[in-house]
Structure 1
Amino acid sequence: MKKVIRHCVYIIIVLNFILCSNMLVFSYTGSCTNDKLYENNIIGGVLFQNNGVFCDITIEKTIVIGIVIAIMIIASIVLIRKRTNYAMSLENALYTDRITGYPNFEKFRIDAKKIIKNNENNLYVLVYWDIQNLKYINDKYGRKMGDKLLICINKEIYNLMSDGEIVARTGGGNFVVLTKYETVNLFKKRCYGMLNVLRNAVIKVCDCYPIIFRRGVYFIGNRKIDIDTAIDYAIFAQKKIGTVHSHGTYFFNNKMHKKLELEKQLEQDMYAALESEEFEVYYQPKVDIETGYIVGAEALVRWNHHQKGLLMPNIFIPFFEKNGFVCKLDLFVFEQLCKHQKKLVEDGHNIIISSNYSRQQLQSDKPPLLYAEMVKKYNLSPSLFEIELTEVGEIDEIESVIKHAKQFKNAGMRISVDDFCSGNSSLQLLYKLPIDVLKMDRSVIEIGALDGIEGAIIKSIVDISHSNDIIIIWEGIETKEQENYLRKMNCKYAQGFLYGKPMPFNKFCEWLKEHKSR
């Protein structure tokens, strides 16, 4: 930028010089005559001859011309300075963080590329810092307090940097740092020291609530790596820490690299896979453990990938939940279920089949309407469908869950809550949601899990459900011993490998021929 400004200054000065010279020559020749010879004793004048042409230049004219030239040069200088100041202020605006006043993330990206490229003898590590509870501080104490905290952190990290090391805020309460290191152990010590400095500094700004830092670390081995990719690796490592309520550091490793590469390939292939129907719907039966009769089934998805073969849901569903693609997949699975239900009804089977409904669907009001329209499209009874709501993750999601559940219920479909008794599932769901079925999480059916206080709590939930006409279905039943636990608790419906594994639709149809339905 500075070179460009300097070149512009030179060009403007040269152009002004040429322009002023032309004005001077024009004024000279404009006062010359060819047919009259002036005498050489003109007072206050100058007489000269140029190629036989005599020109008359007075002192007054010379002064005027000089003043004009001076004014134009001064005006040019003023204009250049204004343009220079404007360009510099524009550059500062482009590359300065609006909250902290320090170089911003865009400036970091530019400088990081140069630093890594021009310092081949140095080893570099990229660290992604996250303030876990910044949102709480903003909500509780105001954004002014949050901004002071961000300025303090940026300042402290900046002061800890040596030559060739940089830091920037990427947004929110996240910072990215590029530092040199000699050995991994020395870096860990330095990283711990930086954490102590920051902890002491932020206490002076916000001593009313503990600040928790989480860091993801990526050691840059390949200097040709794109800086954005390196940052992605550090962020990926940081997210592996989870939501622990203490300071944490996680280092990017080869296992993470393989997972990240897999996710990139899945993202590249997912839309084409949906179009070509690589996603296949499998069905796992639900049975009455006393009679062995089938009482329903669950629709489950598998990805028959054109290169990697059959992929299980745990490979791609968590990633699709992160990028939002799970919403499209849910709708695809439900339409496949409608097609299959049409065939089952034609064959004389009236089985209630459940379909998973991801939490990401709660962000829009449209999905329940789309599902209801799908059922009408295939001229099916809505009573043949059960919507499995995944276990609620946050308290503020409950209202959205209730709204969607009521829409499905009004459309004539059954409602079930999947993976109950896990994570943040709450007893509030039992009386707030219009629940028909509770699917108990498989983790609580482990041997011994139903003894003592745990067993008493589970038994109470079962009794409350039964008294409110809520059906209990236990998932993951694999042994007769587990089945006996259910009998002791007066539970009669189950799902698991003991009764049937998830199977493609054609095999499920064959399985139905061999088993009675209720």
Structure 2
Amino acid sequence: MSDNQKVKILVCDDDLTARILMKETLASDSIEVIEAENGQRAIEQFEKHSPALLLLDVSMPKMNGFEVCEHIRGHEKGKHIPVIMVTGSDDLESIHKSYAVGATDFIAKPIKWPILGERVKYILRASQAFADLVTQQHELHQLAFYDSLTGLPNRQYLMQDLQRFLAMAERNNYQAAMLFIDLDRFKRINDTMGHSYGDKLLRKVAHRLQANLRDSDTFARVGSEQSSQEPQLSSFGGDEFTIFLSRLNDPNEAMLVAERVIRSFSTPFQLEQFEVVVTPSIGISMFPNDGDNAETLLKNADTAMYFAKQSGRCCYKFYQDSMNAKAAARLQLEQDLRRALKSDEIVPFYQPQICAQSGRIVGVEALVRWLPAKGGIIPPDEFIPIAEETGLINELGRLVLERGCYQAKQWFDEGNPVRMAINVSAHQFRQLDFTQVVADVLQQCGLAPELLELELTESVIMSDAEENIARLIELKALGVSLAVDDFGTGYSSLSYLKRFPIDILKIDRSFMCDVNSAPDDLAIVEAILALAESLKLGVIAEGIEYGSQIAILKNTNQLLLQGYLFSRPVAAEYISPLLNQDFNHLMPAL
């Protein structure tokens, strides 16, 4: 065993003979004995070698054993190290004083050397067991009260002190604030880059928040009166964090902290070779107005955070009483949606797409509707955002894809080969197995791929153009058609657009509604038509309500028309009678 691996024992006695006998008794292959001839030297040796046990003679020059023991017990490294005092056999006063200054044990002179050796070994074993227990307790404390990923205090840590801080705030009649922080669209980082990158991002976010705690004048002012009540940053797991601020003069101080946090996120996070931008949504609740206990204060800050997300993300919102009623209604809607997905309340409606040249229906777009069992209809703009936030959008999208393909197969079997257009959400498209999902549904339904059209918005396909080109090529290889929905509302690069394997551009309804009265809209429509012609793409004009809107689309190749002029979105049974109908009478001559 090397000297570095040996257990070190420090023996301190001004009697050279005693030191030699101690060294002879205690030294072994596993124990190294270090000597000191007086109290001052003992302290120097202790600080230099950090021994595992000390033997101190009570009577020594310069510093006696009691003074040395007291000094060591006051040292950070000496709180739990075993100290054996060597006293006279009848010196009861020294024995009592030894324990008073923190000695672990004593041994009386004349020393029985074999007994000393066994006693030291026993105390070393007990000391190691105690050290192991302390380490284990520390590890358990870390697991119980700290987030393992970021190293920040967790919810349990915060809650154990929060009620005490709030009670102190109430006694002293001052305000406090809870900031609840959630990272916007964090899930897409995990989905697109993988969980390892997501974990790295969370660690960097925690570090940046901590840096702001240290550097912010507002933080410093808030925590200046009492160190035990400095602003407390905590991790609630996942992408949620909290900051508790005490001793506030008014809510403006909490607002300044929230604004500083938002500004700090404007700099991208570097994850290896990638630069990632992520933004925070922050909810703020104030004590005592928004809650007089920890649970209520946290719940209301969480509620306000949700409204910050609803307001466009990357912002903060203070809690208001009206939020709880709205949040409860939203939670109920989420629960109802989960049930509706399993009870056939979510159904596709279909809106015809008319060939401008023949006047016949050549396609339909599947548009999801929620028909509650208790009656009525819930519009998509009420439940689609909830589906996206909760991850239910993938289940909902799969349901519409399957039912739409089954319906198209049924019409085909009846002699009506109608192309089925299905909207694909960003969440669905980012699924790594989405192409396989589409292939499986086509096979399961027995639908020819050319009768399926997938519609993706311009913003979705442009979100990561290079990667999405590869995904679109995979889908195109299945034989399906690809359309860009809401075209004209995004910022497509023409160089990328030429590389996308798309078949159809859908002109957004916002450009068609006022096309006869808005010169700018007319110019956009004409530009889209020219682009489609140059790229040899088909065109679908949405939002057609009047025949006059169709006139400007003259001379457009592969033109389809969709809108209330022909039919609102309706259930499948109302589409079947229209499939053999001619709509030429509704259209001006093109």
Q: Same fold (TM over 0.5)?
A: yes
CA deviation profile, 1:53-110 (whole Å, cap 9, x unmatched): xxxxxx9999998997898678656754663465246535754578987645552244
Q: How does 1:172-191 map to 2 (within 5 A)?
A: 175-180=241-246, 186-189=250-253, 191=255
Q: 1:447 aligns to what SS in structure 2? A: coil
CA deviation profile, 1:394-448 (whole Å, cap 9, x unmatched): 7453244333332332222211111111234443453122211111112222426
> How far apart, CA to CA, are the structure 2 residues paired with 1:420 and 1:197?
36
2:300–2:319 contact (8 Å) kept in structure 1: no
Q: Cα offset for 1:125?
A: 3.3
> Structure 1 residues 168, 74: closer, same or farther in 2, change over 3 A?
same
Q: Cα offset for 1:146?
A: 7.4
- Counterpart of 2:180 in structure 1 is 128
- Counterpart of 1:236 in structure 2 is 306
Do structure 1's residue 152 and structure 2's residue 211 form an aligned pair? yes
- Counterpart of 2:509 in structure 1 is 442
2:504–2:539 contact (8 Å) kept in structure 1: yes
- How many aligned positions are there? 444
2:488–2:507 contact (8 Å) kept in structure 1: yes
> Structure 1 residues 145, 86: closer, same or farther in 2, change over 3 A?
closer
> How far apart, CA to CA, are the structure 2 residues paired with 1:144 and 1:128?
17
Task: Give the superposed CA RMSD.
Answer: 4.7
1:286–1:295 contact (8 Å) kept in structure 2: yes
> How far apart, CA to CA, are the structure 1 residues paired with 2:148 and 2:160?
18
CA deviation profile, 1:214-250 (whole Å, cap 9, x unmatched): 6432343374746764453243234245366xxx432
- Counterpart of 1:15 in structure 2 is none
> How far apart, CA to CA, are the structure 1 residues paired with 2:567 and 2:292?
49
Equivalent AA in structure 2 for residue 128 of structure 1:
F
Q: How does 1:48-447 map to 2 (within 5 A)?
A: 76=126, 79-80=129-130, 83-84=133-134, 87-88=137-138, 91=141, 95=145, 103-104=153-154, 106-112=156-162, 115-116=165-166, 124-129=176-181, 149-156=208-215, 159=220, 160-161=222-223, 166-170=231-235, 175-180=241-246, 186-189=250-253, 191-192=255-256, 195=259, 215-219=282-286, 220-221=290-291, 223=293, 225=295, 229-242=299-312, 248-253=315-320, 256-289=323-356, 292-307=359-374, 309-393=376-460, 395=462, 397-447=464-514
Q: Cα offset for 1:500?
A: 0.9
- Counterpart of 1:506 in structure 2 is 573
2:372–2:378 contact (8 Å) kept in structure 1: yes
- 217-226 vs 431-440, which deviates more? 217-226
Q: Cα offset for 1:212?
A: 8.3
1:416–1:437 contact (8 Å) kept in structure 2: yes
> How far apart, CA to CA, are the structure 2 residues paired with 1:344 and 1:173?
47
Equivalent AA in structure 1 for residue 233 of structure 2:
A
Q: 2:490 aligns to what SS in structure 1? A: coil
Equivalent AA in structure 2 for residue 187 of structure 1:
P
1:127–1:218 contact (8 Å) kept in structure 2: yes
- Counterpart of 1:4 in structure 2 is none
> Structure 1 residues 408, 256: closer, same or farther in 2, change over 3 A?
farther
Equivalent AA in structure 1 for residue 162 of structure 2:
A
2:351–2:364 contact (8 Å) kept in structure 1: yes
> How far apart, CA to CA, are the structure 1 residues paired with 2:206 and 2:335?
38
Q: Cα offset for 1:299?
A: 0.7
- 324-333 vs 188-197, which deviates more? 188-197
2:283–2:316 contact (8 Å) kept in structure 1: yes
- 62-71 vs 232-241, which deviates more? 62-71
1:109–1:227 contact (8 Å) kept in structure 2: no
1:116–1:223 contact (8 Å) kept in structure 2: yes
Equivalent AA in structure 2 for residue 127 of structure 1:
L
> How far apart, CA to CA, are the structure 1 residues paired with 2:149 and 2:478?
49
- Counterpart of 1:496 in structure 2 is 563
Q: Cα offset for 1:361?
A: 2.2
2:419–2:450 contact (8 Å) kept in structure 1: yes
Gaps of 5+ in 2: 1-108, 190-196, 271-276, 585-590
> How far apart, CA to CA, are the structure 2 residues paired with 1:342 and 1:213?
46
> Structure 1 residues 79, 176: closer, same or farther in 2, change over 3 A?
same
CA deviation profile, 1:168-219 (whole Å, cap 9, x unmatched): 1437997422235889xx312553377569979x99xx9xxx9987643234
Q: Cα offset for 1:285?
A: 1.0
> How far apart, CA to CA, are the structure 2 residues paired with 1:147 and 1:336?
44
TM-score normalised to structure 1 length: 0.69
1:450–1:456 contact (8 Å) kept in structure 2: no
> Structure 1 residues 411, 218: closer, same or farther in 2, change over 3 A?
same
Indicate the percent of aligned positions where both proteins have the same amino acid: 25
> How far apart, CA to CA, are the structure 2 residues paired with 1:212 and 1:370?
31
1:237–1:251 contact (8 Å) kept in structure 2: no
Q: Cα offset for 1:327?
A: 1.7
- 233-242 vs 60-69, which deviates more? 60-69
CA deviation profile, 1:451-476 (whole Å, cap 9, x unmatched): 55664454233112123331111222
Gaps of 5+ in 1: 1-58
Q: Cα offset for 1:316?
A: 1.5
> How far apart, CA to CA, are the structure 2 residues paired with 1:400 and 1:341?
30
- 62-71 vs 124-133, which deviates more? 62-71
- 170-179 vs 399-408, which deviates more? 170-179
Q: Cα offset for 1:297?
A: 0.9
Q: 1:423 aligns to what SS in structure 2? A: coil
Equivalent AA in structure 2 for residue 467 of structure 1:
S
Q: How does 1:20-31 map to 2 (within 5 A)?
A: none
Do structure 1's residue 460 and structure 2's residue 565 form an aligned pair? no
Q: Cα offset for 1:281?
A: 1.2
Q: 1:311 aligns to what SS in structure 2? A: coil
1:357–1:389 contact (8 Å) kept in structure 2: yes
> How far apart, CA to CA, are the structure 2 residues paired with 1:298 and 1:474?
12
1:281–1:333 contact (8 Å) kept in structure 2: yes
CA deviation profile, 1:122-154 (whole Å, cap 9, x unmatched): 66532135799999xx99xx9999786443213
> How far apart, CA to CA, are the structure 2 residues paired with 1:193 and 1:370?
45
> Structure 1 residues 272, 214: closer, same or farther in 2, change over 3 A?
closer
Greater RCO (Cα-Cα under 8 Å, separation 6 or more): 1
> Structure 1 residues 103, 77: closer, same or farther in 2, change over 3 A?
same
- 70-79 vs 399-408, which deviates more? 70-79
1:286–1:298 contact (8 Å) kept in structure 2: yes
> How far apart, CA to CA, are the structure 2 residues paired with 1:454 and 1:103?
54
TM-score normalised to structure 2 length: 0.61
> How far apart, CA to CA, are the structure 1 residues paired with 2:317 and 2:162?
22
